[in-house]
Structure 1
Amino acid sequence: MRKKIAFIGTGGTIASLGAGPLDTVNYGARGMMLQADGILDRFPEVQEVAEVVALPYRNVPSPKIGFREWQDLVLLCDKVVAEMPGLAGIVIGHGTASLEETAFALSLTLKVPVPVVVVGSQRPASALSTDAGLNLVNAVRVAASEEARGLGALVLLNDEIQAAREVTKTSTGRMQTFRSPDVGVLGHADGDRLAWYRRPLRRLAPDTEFDIRKLAALPRVDIAYSHADADGTAVRAFTAAGAQGIVNAGFAPGFVTPGDAEALQEARARGVVVVQSTRAGSGRVFPTTKLAEAGFIAADNLTPQKARILLALALTLTRDPGEITRIFATY
C-alpha cells in the first residue's frame, strides 16, 4: 500500500517554466511558475513511489520568503496533519536561494510528528536534464521513510539527504550546490534504497521550545559582515534601525576589525544581543576568554544567516545572555 504524502509548492526554480529546454538562466524573467498540482502533473512518476496530494499555497520567489511564509508553512503543516488521517509525511517545494534558511527555521519551529522535507532544483522544470523531477521523487521517498522521523526538517537535492541545520548552498549553478561542510550528508536517496548513515544530535522539531504560530513578527536581528577597513557604520545603522540582535559575520575563526568591535560594544551597551559568527562557511567560533569579556555569544558552527534565525527565535523567549548561550549550545 502506497503511503500518503502532502506536497506544498511555494514556487522557485523547481516550479519554473523557461522559454524552452535550453533556457537554464533567464527563465525567471518569464515569471511562469507551476502550482503544486501542476508540478505533480508534469512529473507523474512521483505517484509511483507514494500517493502524493497537492496542497494549495502561493508561488513566492525565494528571496521574498521570510518569517510570514515560515509561519504560514508551520500552520499549514499543522492543518494538513490534523485533516489528513494516515499522512506519512510532507514535502515542501522551494526556491534554492533561501531554501536553507526556511528549512532551518522549520526545523526549529514545526510541531508535527511526521517528516518534512524541503526540496528544490537547480534547473527549471522545463529544462533539458532538469533535476526537478528526480529531486521531487526522492524527497517524497524520504518523507515517506520511517527513518526520517524525528530529524527536524530535511533537505533533499542531488540524491543527498541533508540536515537543515548544517546544509548550505555553496554554488550558484552547479547541481552539487547543497553541502554540509563540517559533518556531511545524513544519507543518500539511491535508486535501490535510501541509504542512511547518521542522525543529528542537536535538538530538533517538533521537540523545541520555540512556537511562532501566534507571533506577529520576529524580533529584528541583522547581520554585519566584517571586511578589511570595516569601521562599524553598518553596525551603528542596524542599531539605529532598532535591531534587538546583531550577528557579526567575522573573519575566521571569529575576529572583527577594531571599528566593528567598537560599534558592537556600543550596541551591547544599548541592550543589543551580539552573536559572533564567521564568514568562512565552515568551522566553529570558539567561546574564548576574549569573546566572553566582550559579552558576545559564540555562534558555534552556524552560518551567519542561520545564527540570525536562531537568535531571533531565542529573543522571543529571553534576553538573558546565559540562556541564549544555552540555546546556541542546544540547537
Structure 2
Amino acid sequence: MSKPRIAFIGTGGTMASIGRGPLDIQDYGVAGIVMDAPAILARVPELAEVADVFAVPYGAVISTRIGFTDWRALSRECSRLEAEEPGLAGIVIGHGTSSMEETAYALSLSLKVSVPVVMVGSQRPASALSSDAGMNLLNAVRVAASPQARGLGVLVLLNDEIHAARDVTKTSTWRLQTFRTPDFGALGHADGDRIAFYRRPLRRAAPDTEFDIRGLDVLPRVDIAYAHADADGTAINAFVAAGARGIVSAGFAPGSGTPAEADALRAAMAAGVVVVQASRVGSGRVVRTEKMGRDGFIPADNLNPQKARILLAFALSVTQDPAEISRMFETY
C-alpha cells in the first residue's frame, strides 16, 4: 500500500536551527546555522515510515521578519503544489514560533487549496538535548495526511496538540506547551496510535473564503494601539499620519481603551479609518455595547489583537464598508 504524499516547505525557525551544543536551547541563533528543507527532513528518517515526504525549496527567514510578502509567496506555492504534484495528500510548513499564529491565520483566511495545510515549529533547536523538532515534524506530517484534517482550515501542530489557526496563540517564551487555544482547547491530538480529532471549528476558513492574496501587491496598512494606564492618543494619531486605513484597539478587558484613546480613535474614524475594538487579555469576546455602537467601532469578537489586525487588513483589501467588515468579523 502506497504512503500518502506530503510536501514540506521549510521557512526556517527554531526547528531548522543548529546550536553550539546539545545544551544550547536559548542562544542558538548566535551559531548562525539554519538548515534548508532537505536537511531538516534528513534528520528525521522516521518520516519514511508514515508518508512519502518531499522537500520544497523556500528559504530561511526568521519568523520576526515574516509578514505579507511571505504569506503571499506561501499561498502561491501551496496553490502550485496542489496543481502540479500528482497525488498530493497534504502540505506541512515549517515556521518559527514567534509569528506562527499570524502566518497560520493569514493562510487560513486566504489559501485556495483543498488539501490539509499544517504549520509546525519547535521550541528547541534540532541540535538540542530533548529537542521537540523531530517529533513535531513527524506528527505534523501525520496530521496533514489524515483525511479528517480536510476542511478545517490551516492547522497548527506542536507538542502533540492540533489547534485551529484562528484560535491558537503562543503563550510561553520557552515552554514546550506554548501553543494554546484559550477559550476552546485543542481540536485533537497526535497520539502514538492515531490522529484523534474531537471537534471541528465552525468559523469560515480556507479554501471557502472571500479573500485571495495571491494577486495583491500590498495589504492596506493596519496598526495596533495597545491600551495601558495613562495612554493618550499619540500612537493613534501617528498611525493615522502614517497612512493607516485601519486601527485595532488592544483595549482593557472587556473592550475599551482610555478616554484619551477613545477620543483619538473617534477622530481617526472621522478621517476615514476603520476601528476594530479588541482586548489585550487574550481570552473572551469583545461584544458590541451601546457605546461601541455609537462610536462606530467594530467588535473583534474573541480574536486577539494581532489576528484582528490580519482580518481587518484582508477585509480592507476587498471593501471599505464598515457593515461588511463587521459581517466578516462575525464570519471568520
CA distances 1:51-75 after superposition (whole Å, capped 9, x unpaired):
0000000100000000000000000
C-alpha distance in 2, partners of 1:213/1:313?
12
| Secondary structure of 2:18 counterpart | coil
The answer for the alignment partner of 2:185 in structure 1 is: 184
C-alpha separation between the residues in 1 aligned to 2:5 and 2:302?
Answer: 36
Distance in 2 separating the partners of 1:29 and 1:227: 34
Identity of aligned residues (%): 69
Q: Distance in 2 between matches of 1:46 and 1:309?
A: 33
Correspondence 1:1-331 to 2 at 5 A: 1-331=2-332
How many pairs does the alignment contain? 331
**Could you list the per-position Cα deviations for residues 10-66 of structure 1 after superposition, in whole angstroms to 9, with x for gaps in the alignment?**
000010000010000110112211000000001111121100000000100000000
After superposition, give the CA deviation of every residue in 1:89-115 in whole Å (9 maximum; x if it has no partner): 000000000000000000000000000
Structure 2 stretches lacking a partner, 5+ long: none
Aligned structure 1 segments of 4 or more residues deviating by more than 4 angstroms = none
Shift of 1:256: 1.0
Aligned amino acid, residue 286 of structure 2: V
RMSD over aligned Cα atoms: 0.5
Determine helix, strand or coil for the equivalent of 1:249.
strand
What is the deviation of 1:82? Answer: 1.0
CA distance in 1, matches of 2:5, 2:138: 13
29-38 vs 295-304, which moves further: 29-38
The 2-side partners of 1:25 and 1:161 are apart by 25
1:306 CA displacement: 0.1
SS of 1:88's partner is strand
Shift of 1:200: 0.5
Describe the SS at the equivalent of 1:54.
strand
Rounded Cα–Cα distance in structure 1 between residues aligned with 2:32 and 2:273: 40
Per-residue CA deviation, residues 199-224 of structure 1 (Å, 9 max, x unaligned), is 00000100000011110000000000
TM-score normalised according to structure 2 size: 0.99
Point out the more displaced range, 297-306 or 40-49.
40-49
Aligned mates of 1:194, 1:203 — CA distance in 2: 23
- Deviations for 1:292-329, whole angstroms, at most 9, x for unmatched residues? 10110000000000000000000011111110000000
Counterpart CA distance in 2 for 1:48 and 1:56 is 23
- Partner AA of 2:289 in structure 1: T
The CA deviation at 1:195 is 1.1
Unaligned runs of 5+ in 1: none
